Structure 1
Amino acid sequence: MGSAGQDQGAASLWDIATPSRRGRLPGVSMAGFRARTTDAVDLGVVPYPAVTVALELGDGALAVEDADGRRQSGGAVVGLASVGVRGRGRDIECLQVRLSPSVAHAVLGGGCAEPGAGVVSLEDLWGREAVRLQERLRAAGSWEARFALAEAALLGRYEAGPAVDPEVAFVWGRTAASHGAVRVERLADEAGWSRKRLWSRFRSQLGITPKRAAQLVRFDHAAHRLAAGHGAARVAAETGYTDQSHLYRDVKAFAGVTPTAVAAAPWLAVDDVAWAADGHRAES
């Protein structure tokens, strides 16, 4: 088994398991969560630059709800840049999968790329295959076996699913690598497309515009620096915001709270344990 354990604060509420080896499908990361308490859990989800799939595997009940009141249990898919999402339940045991937008387009058939998709049911996207996978995951004897089952299902879907345009994948990759600092016009030139064509294809395949993608990636970078204990003024200056007020507006728009509240967000407290392999540990 890979790293498992607890972080400070909210992370101590969870036993967290991660795969012992790197997966075969780039752009996919997984972690297993088991609540250490039977008390009710109610967590606000901080938007992240990936599509998240949550599969409930225990005897408890996990419900994922978006800002529009759409509520899914069992297998829930949180679309890219969805805001106002909350996870609620008791005695939770679940597998979470993070999919890069390019992978999600193939694996989920583009079903979560519709603007405003928010939270959707995996069963609505995969049909009975989602139910069968959940049953097999519940019956598996270890987290490592669960990770292997999930990876096989994702790989099969990816190979059979629709691929994004290479130019769209390139622009997303450049956006992520630069923490959202490269202008859309420059990315369009590098991809060999007009700005209008890039905007249209990117949005139709990933569900958001290139500008919104850059804002999301920059917000994520800033949020992790805030969670690492850096002050808002320093974070704003070092992550490309015009000033501290600009950072405040973006954090409020994505997370619905202030930078101070984001810094203490329980959802971010588990990242250094569950998602350390993603390379999103905030810099010192």
Structure 2
Amino acid sequence: MELRDVRRLTGVEITPYDISGGSPGQHLGLPSATATLIVDLADGLVLGTEGRSETDTFRCCLAGMHLRPVTIHHDGSQVGVQVSLSPAAVRALFGLPVGELANGTSELAQIDTDIARRLHDQLAQAHPDDRAAVCAGALVDIASDAAPFDDAHAAWEYLARRRGDVTVAELVEQSGWSARYLTRLFTAEFGIGPKQAARLMRFDAARAGLEAGRAAVDVAADCGYADQSHMSREFTDLTGLSPRSLLRRRAEEFG
């Protein structure tokens, strides 16, 4: 389910999941140009990050944009709701810039105890078939009408409309700001610079194209990569896997 232009909740995508009977394992939480809210309805969401042997367990977590994958550990069963959030939606729901969440994951209760409790309680009580609608209703009730910081979000929206196929020089020209001002403003709001944001947007678009079955060479050209090899290098750097290996792994994880 996707919410668009509902009390500033532009670009909110809600995905309930209820997986059981599988083998214990891990799956990848991929880098993306969105923040992620996950409400776990089982025994807690167990997350690990690159370079750390320790894991953290969350009941209701909010993660900012990141340039490396996270690992989600499970015992073969996973129940909950995942919500992809645009930067404007993070502002509307939680009253903070997504940049405050950059490269990290927080227990939502540490940000807003009431919102965390309301979301978890309403989703736990909902029938599995109704969880997307219940989540959507809860988010609409929570959302503020406060407008995001216009200059930074205007730059973000320009990048998003082009799916990241924009150079920093072009963004500077379009904005009318200096490169220094643009980068400072952008990074303060989103936690990453314009070049990194464009990189994540291109990756999102390329992954969607490949998962839809399009030829890699066509996807690379359409998403602004120099060539297919360039796209492959970007996938490997962002995920640790080539495009083909990533698609195969995700097919195994999600059937």
Query: Common fold, TM-score beyond 0.5?
Result: yes
1:44 and 2:28 aligned = yes
Distance in structure 1 (CA, Å) of the matches to 2:4 and 2:226: 38
TM-score under structure 1 normalisation? 0.76
RMSD: 2.9
Change (3 A) 1:111 1:171: closer
How many residues are aligned here?
250
Answering whether residue 111 of structure 2 is matched by residue 125 of structure 1, we say: yes
Of 37, 62, 65, 2:45 maps to 62
Partner of 1:73: 58
Structure 2 unaligned runs (5+)? none
Q: Which residue of 2 aligns with 1:282?
A: none
Gaps of 5+ in 1: 1-17, 272-284
1:188-238 CA deviation, whole Å, 9 max, x = no partner?
Answer: 332332222121111111111111111111111122223334444443333
Change (3 A) 1:218 1:86: same
Match of 1:12 in 2: none
For residue 265 of structure 1, report the CA deviation from its aligned partner: 3.7
**Structure 1 pair 141/226, CA: closer, same or farther in 2 (3 Å)?**
closer
What SS does the aligned partner of 1:32 have?
Answer: strand
Whole-angstrom CA distance in 2 between matches of 1:129 and 1:238: 40
Contact 1:28–1:98 at 8 Å: present in 2 too? Answer: yes
Offset, 1:267? 7.3
Question: CA–CA distance in 1 between the matches of 2:56 and 2:145?
Answer: 29
Between the aligned partners of 2:234 and 2:219, the Cα distance in structure 1 is 13
Q: Residue deviations 1:260-281, cap 9 Å, x none? A: 212324179869xxxxxxxxxx
TM-aligned CA distance change 1:184 to 1:159, over 3 Å: same
- Alpha-carbon distance between aligned partners in 1 of 2:171 and 2:46, rounded to the nearest angstrom: 38
Deviations 1:75-130 (A, max 9, x none): 12221134121222232111111101222234233365237532222122222431
| 1:94-133 mapped onto 2 (5 Å cutoff) | 94-110=80-96, 112-114=98-100, 116-133=102-119
Whole-Å separation in 1 of the counterparts to 2:59 and 2:139: 17
Name the structure 1 match of 2:120: 134
User: Deviation of residue 149 (structure 1)?
Assistant: 4.1
Q: 1:168 to 1:85 in 2, by over 3 A?
A: same
User: So what's the TM-score if we normalise by structure 2?
Assistant: 0.83
Q: Could you tell me how far 1:159 is from its partner in structure 2?
A: 0.8
Identity over aligned pairs, percent: 27
Equivalent position amino acid for 2:41 in 1:
L
In the aligned structure 1, how far is the partner of 2:4 from the partner of 2:86? 15
Moved more, 125-134 or 44-53: 125-134
25-34 or 135-144: bigger deviation: 135-144
CA contact (8 A) 1:78 1:118 kept: yes
Residues 1:246 and 2:233 aligned together = no
* Selected match of 1:29 from 10, 13, 18: 13
